[in-house]
Amino acid sequence: MTSRPAFVCAVALSLGLSGCGYHVAGRADLLPKTVQTIAIQPFGNNTAQHRLAERVPAALTREFIRRTRYQVIPEATQADAVLTGGVVNIYTYPTTFDPVTGRASGVQMIAILQARLTERATGKVLFERPTMEVRQRYEISVDQRAFLDESSPALERVSADVARSLVSAILENF
């Protein structure tokens, strides 16, 4: 049997959460109903590292198709909304070192990106993230004979992280 104070607290909590805008993540869709199609433009790149800027639009396309009702189309002039963005900076630095050789064996990558979703017909900015930081750690083989460059898979993981975060942020307007 539930005690009266516990019951009152549970009811108050449920009423409080229902009135404060609480919702389950990934369930909101706060874009205007007029937006049915989205064009994802190639991302700009302010870095010497071109691979991330090339991968992010494809990852975003996959994420929008997988998680939303929006149709992703290639032509910005035909879309209801246009997603643009860019890679502002990429930092990498060693995080762990092999005690025998002194060479780096782990690297931390930090990517700084920006993104904007604009309603094409009105020019209204529907979503903007001027600074988005994504981190990824990857390993480096210290044996040069068995060297395996792990940076490419790390960039794929960063692209997927960017896509998941941006799509969630756009849908929930965070």
pTM: 0.74
Q: What is the pLDDT of residue 16?
A: 45
Of 45-49, 90-94, 147-151, minimum mean pLDDT range: 147-151
Res 105 pLDDT > 50? yes
- Find the helix or strand (DSSP H, E) in which 120 lies: none
Q: What is the pLDDT of residue 130?
A: 95
Residue 14 or residue 164, greater confidence: 164
Q: What would the DSSP string read from start to end of 16-83?
A: HHHHTT---TT----S-TT--EEEEPPPEE-SS--HHHHHHHHHHHHHHHHH-SPEEES-GGG-SEEE
Res 27 pLDDT > 80? no
For 47-73, what is the mean pLDDT? Answer: 94
User: What is the pairing mode between strands 125-139 and 104-119?
Assistant: antiparallel
Say which CATH topology domain 26-172 has. Double Stranded RNA Binding Domain (3.30.160)
> Cα separation of 78 and 81, whole Å?
9
For 29-55, what is the mean pLDDT? Answer: 92
Q: What percent of the chain has pLDDT over 70?
A: 76
Q: What is the pLDDT of residues 109-131, one digit of tens each?
A: 899 999 999 999 999 999 999 99
Q: What is the pLDDT of residue 157?
A: 85
Res 70 pLDDT > 50? yes
Cα Rg for the chain, rounded, in angstroms? 21
Sign of the Cα pseudo-torsion (71, 76, 87, 154, in order)? positive
- In Å, what is the CA distance from 111 to each residue of 9, 45, 135, 136, 156? 44, 11, 6, 8, 12
Helix (H/G/I), strand (E/B), else coil: 5: helix
Q: Which two tokens stand for residue 70?
A: 């929006």
- Name the band, by pLDDT with cuts 50, 70 and 90, for residue 106: confident
> Cα separation of 12 and 157, whole Å?
42
Q: What would the DSSP string read from start to end of 87-106?
A: EEEEEEEEEEE-TTT--EEE
